[in-house]
Amino acid sequence: MKKWWQEEVVYQIYPRSFQDSNGDGIGDIPGIISRLDEIKALGAGIIWLSPVYKSPDADNGYDISDYRDINPKFGTMADMDNLLKKAAECGIKIVMDLVINHTSDEHEWFQKSRDKESPYRDYYIWRKGSPKGKPPNNWTAFFMGSAWEYDKKSSEYYLHLFHKKQPDLNYHNPKVIEEIKDIMRFWLDKGVAGFRCDVINIIYKSSFADGKPTLAIRGIEHYKSTEGNHRILRELRRDVLDKYDCFAVGETVMVDLDEAKLLCDSGRKELDMLFYFDHLEVDRRIARYIPKKFHARKLLSVLAKWQQGLEWNAFYLENHDQPRIVSHYGDDSRYWERSAKMLATMQFTLGGTMFIYQGQEIGMTNFDFTELSQLKDVESHNINALMKRIGIPAKTRWHWINQASRDNARTPMQWSSEAGAGFTSGNPWIGINKNYKKINYQEQKARNDSILAYYKQLIVFRAGNDTLKYGGFKPVYAKGGVIAYQREKVEGNLSTDDEKYLVILNFSKKAARAVFNGTLVLSNIGRDKYDGELEAYEAVVLRV
């Protein structure tokens, strides 16, 4: 049976960079309310809100100090209630970011937990150091360095898989699970439609033995997609999620297809769908910051693997942790508009629930910063320090960070060509890309051949098209920069129409020849018929 969240397009908002309403340079909840019309006009039916909870912002809100309160930078709980109400009036549902692997070190639980006698001690993961005065084991954090921090107050170390201001909760303690259920109920009772669950496949640590030697994250084999993790997800579903009309999409770190199936096959009653990273890493090495050559053929095989492998996909090309897709797999100079539309064509002809990140719909590009000091992201600064320590030259470091930094997606939304890009009347918390005079919402709204107009067109086309939403996926062609795949009804899937579509995409600056027959239904360059000759970054959809 089809679910409502399979039909909708989800629009991700990174609140601090979306719309400032009071001139302090930080996007906020009243700002979001003022842009609901634009989100509705795009055709999105769900907003996923990156964290707006109370937080000291060591990791831009992914370090929560109170799950039942709002960061005053973003507004108040009254603003949040108002957002839920106004969004509902527009027919838009809201999904919250549920960050439960860790809290902030400024959360009351953690502050109490620093006392060995406190009932909260066991809410977190405390261990004695090694006899030699070293951390309890050799695990490394996702933000580099040891995953353990020494706390003088009780002379022990606590685990933090991310920043030291993000201590990991202890999921061996049933009380922690009960607390999380209460937090989920609190928000569901307010009317939210579900959760995007942050790093949800690494919450249960099954052992604290040393990790295997690796260049990536040391220790991960002791906590990634563990049986205990599956058990907790089933418990959260049974006791909370199943009691509401809502969904859960997991963000799952370094997940492979076999793990993913166990996490989101519908019969297992864990997650409804999940975000994997494979399709954005075909030109990345183990550590996301190190590039390698892009091959369209590789992308096609990754798409095929996940499209065919999962019952239901959550598909995205951008989020707040990834570079902008037009700068990544497209061309953000000469073929900017065309390649952004080509990538949009790919996204909206794949199966699954589609997620768009703010600014993607107008083809926003990576930042134009020229030096590290302009970056805010803790991860970029930490990776720079680490690369420096191991002797990587400054130029290479900057080049890599430039391409992969999370701040690429975090520069303010470009609403107009006015000063402040229509984002703020004040001083923005992070630099605005100087290309806002050319790339902005207002300009594209006025033009019916803009990237924005094309996104709207794709969303409408897909909405009335079961084959694209639910049909099977078949890779049919890969040569040079060109790939092609077919979407069609297959036995047992949810697609009810008999139509077949062939999607042909050129990921290169070179023109190419790829002969297929069919009726042209979509073109990113305004063609009215296709004769087998593809231009640079061209996308063609044929009904066959």
Element (H, E) at 394: helix 394-404
Q: Which of 10, 26, 451, 484 binds Ca ion (CB under 5 A)?
A: 26
x/- binding map, residues 115-154, to ligand TEU, per CB under 6 A?
---------------------------x------------
Binding mask 359-398 for ligand TEU (x = CB under 6 A): --------------------x-------------------
Nearest to residue 147, comparing CAs of 81, 42, 220, 96?
Answer: 220
Rg from Cα positions in the chain: 23
Quote the tokens at residue 397. Answer: 């470091």
**At closest approach, how far in Å is the CB of 148 from Ca ion?**
36
Residue 271 vs residues 222, 241, 249, 355, 430: alpha-carbon distances, Å: 21, 10, 6, 16, 34
| Owner of token pair 């004040």 | 426
Per CB under 6 A, contacts with ligand TEU among 160-219 are: 162, 198-199
What are phi and psi for residue 319, nearest 5 degrees? -155, -170
Choice from 35, 73, 284, 288 touching ligand TEU (CB under 6 A): 288
What, of ligand TEU, Ca ion, none, does residue 538 touch, CB below 5 to 8 Å by kind?
A: none
Out of 3, 6, 7, 24, the residue judged to bind Ca ion by CB under 5 A: 24
Interaction partner, residue 99 (ligand TEU, Ca ion, none; CB < 5-8 Å by kind) = ligand TEU
User: Would the CA dihedral through 85, 353, 504, 252 be positive or negative?
Assistant: positive
Can 531 be counted among the known catalytic residues? no
99 contacts ligand TEU (rule: CB under 6 A): yes
Q: How far is the CB of 136 from ligand TEU (least distance, A)?
A: 21
Helices 174-189 & 227-239 angle (0-180, nearest 10)? 40
What is the identity of the amino acid at 434? K
User: What span, in angstroms and rounded, lies between the C-alpha atoms of 538 and 507?
Assistant: 8
- CB nearer to Ca ion: give 301 or 425: 425
Q: Which does 331 bind (CB under 5 to 8 A by kind): Ca ion, ligand TEU, none?
A: none
Find which of Ca ion, ligand TEU, none residue 59 binds, CB within 5 to 8 Å per kind. Answer: ligand TEU
Choose between 291 and 426: whose C-beta lies nearer to Ca ion: 426
Measured CA to CA, the distance from residue 104 to residue 264 in angstroms comes to: 28
Active-site annotation holds for 251: yes
How many CA atoms within 13 Å lie on the side-chain side of 254? 16
CB of 51 to ligand TEU, least distance (A): 9
Partner whose binding site includes residue 199, from ligand TEU, Ca ion, none (CB under 5 to 8 Å by kind): ligand TEU
Question: Least CB distance from residue 102 to ligand TEU, whole Å?
Answer: 7
Q: Round to whole Å and give the CA distance between 53 and 20.
A: 17
What residues numbered 207-266 form the site for Ca ion, per CB under 5 A?
none
Residue number, 30 or 475, with CB nearest to Ca ion: 30
Q: How far is the CB of 106 from ligand TEU (least distance, A)?
A: 15
**Nearer residue to Ca ion within complex by CB, 55 or 506:** 55
Question: How many residues in the shown chain lie near ligand TEU by CB under 6 A?
Answer: 13
Q: Of 14 and 441, which has the nearer Cβ to ligand TEU?
A: 14
Which of 8, 28, 156, 318 forms a contact with Ca ion (CB under 5 A)?
28
Encode 359-386: b = buried (16+ Cβ within 10 Å), e = exposed: bbbbbbbbbebeeeeebbbbbbbbbbeb
* Residue keyed to tokens 């999380």: 180
Taking each helix axis as running N to C, give the angle between helix 227-239 and helix 257-264, from 0 to 180 degrees, rounded to the nearest 10: 30
Q: Per CB under 5 A, does 20 bind Ca ion?
A: yes
Residue 321 touches ligand TEU, criterion: CB under 6 A: yes
Catalytic residue among 251, 337, 377, 538: 251
Stretch that binds Ca ion, among 13-21, 261-269, 321-329, 387-395 (CB under 5 A): 13-21
Residues sharing a CB contact under 8 Å with residue 269, sequence separation 6 or more, in sequence order? 234, 237, 238, 242
Q: Which pairing describes strands 126-127 and 519-523: parallel, antiparallel, or unpaired?
A: unpaired
Is 22 one of the binding residues for Ca ion (CB under 5 A)?
yes
Residue 510 burial (CB count, 10 A): 13
Q: What is the dihedral of CA 457, 458, 459, 460, to 10 degrees?
A: 50
Cβ nearer to ligand TEU, comparing 102 with 489: 102
| Binding test (CB under 6 A) with ligand TEU, winner from 62, 74, 204, 355 | 62
Find the angle CA(221)-CA(201)-CA(115) to the nearest 5 degrees.
85
Binding mask 368-407 for Ca ion (x = CB under 5 A): ----------------------------------------
Query: Strand 93-98 relative to strand 46-49: parallel, antiparallel, unpaired?
Result: parallel
**H helical segments located in 104-159:** 108-113
Please identify, using beta-carbon distances, which residue of 27 and 219 lies nearer to Ca ion.
27
User: Considering 198, 332, 377, 488, which one is annotated as catalytic?
Assistant: 198
Q: How far apart are CA 156 and CA 239, in angstroms?
A: 34
Name the residues that contact ligand TEU, by CB under 6 A.
Answer: 59, 62, 99, 142, 162, 198-199, 251, 253, 288, 320-321, 379
Question: Could you list the active site residues?
Answer: 198, 251
